[in-house]
A = this chain, B = another copy of it.
Amino acid sequence: MRGLSGFPITPTDPDGDPVPGAVAPLIRRMADAGLDSAGVLGSTGGYAYLTETQRRDVLTEALDAAGDRIPVIAGIGALRADMAARLARHAADSGAAGLLLAPMSYAPLFEDEVFDLFARVADASDLPICIYNNPSTTHFTFSTALLARLATIPTVTAVKMPLLGDASEVAALRAAMPEGFLIGYSADWGCPAALLAGADTWYSVAGGMWPAQTLELARAAQAGDRARVAELDRRFEPIWDLFRRFGGFRTCHAASGPMGLTPSRPPAPLRPLPDDAMASLLAAIEALQD
């Protein structure tokens, strides 16, 4: 849970069900590029839209493809704590390296309830747990006090934050958390700045689709090479623009076919990209290959 973690889509058929065998090549591309880890069944991996059985099958396929080449972090968030705990046990038994736990919600959750969720999942396995802080999808906002309280659970060792606000946020969060606690960011367009500001991890949607190019940007940021970061980031800007407008989930599904991967679309009622955005995406993909 340090460095660059790539979060691929789970390619799905027109009904929204996973295409067997289609996750494995995405994992292998990340291993080939040398990413630090692969995050399976995150928001971009569509965990929320799959049944428990489908989630187990996708994870097993990803772990088989990863072998010893790249550690796999498994997204195990669920509306019900019992399901999250079962998925945690399955991930541990299957060889995952860590867990990503989102406090998915329908009825809005109280802080104590979110603490219960993490405690229950922590009881279910010995794997390290990354707190998935993503208010735009889970509709739960972590206070810094709750993050610090969760970090008292021995296996809760990392956080995946949403879009970086001000760069000073990283140091403030670090000061509030125990020593060695890993601070990472998502929302790709803010992540080079987060790494430059001292974050430990970039949890990256782009890393799941364009692993080599994203790794180059991540390594420049980890090295503190601001000029190189600015240069590489400019090449990603058309992708970031699509991510901001349509989300990484819709955008990466739309990119899969043109990239020569298993053609995929997000589960209905989510729509593929509109035609004009698709044209922008094709141009953005082209520009990244240069």
Q: List the interface of chain A (C-beta within 8 A of B).
A: 15-16, 43, 48-49, 79-82, 103-104, 106-110, 112-114, 116-117, 120, 136-137, 139, 247, 249-250, 266-271
Contacts and interface: CB of A to CB of B under 8 A. Distances in A.
Contacts of A247: 107-108
> Secondary structure at chain A's binding surface: helix, strand, loop or mixed?
loop
Contact of A80 (B16, B107, B249, B250): B16
Most-contacted residue by chain B among A80, A112, A120 (CB, 10 A) = A80
Contact of A271 (B15, B43, B108, B112): B112
A49 to B, nearest CB: 6
Contacts of A249: 107
Contacts of A81: 267-269
A80 B49 contact: yes
B269 A109 contact: yes
Contact of A137 (B107, B117, B266): B107
A41 B100 CA distance: 30
A15 B86 CA distance: 12
A103 B249 CA distance: 18
A268 B15 CA distance: 30
Nearest to A85: B268
A47 to B, nearest CB: 9
Contact of A106 (B43, B113, B116): B43
Contacts of A109: 269-270
A110 B273 CA distance: 11
Contacts of A16: 80, 82
A42 to B, nearest CB: 11
Contact of A15 (B82, B117, B266): B82
Given A15-B82, A247-B107, A271 B116 contact: yes
A15 B83 CA distance: 10
Nearest to A15: B82
Given A49-B79, A49-B80, A82-B16, A107 B271 contact: no
Most-contacted residue by chain B among A103, A104, A106, A250 (CB, 10 A) = A106
A120 B268 contact: yes
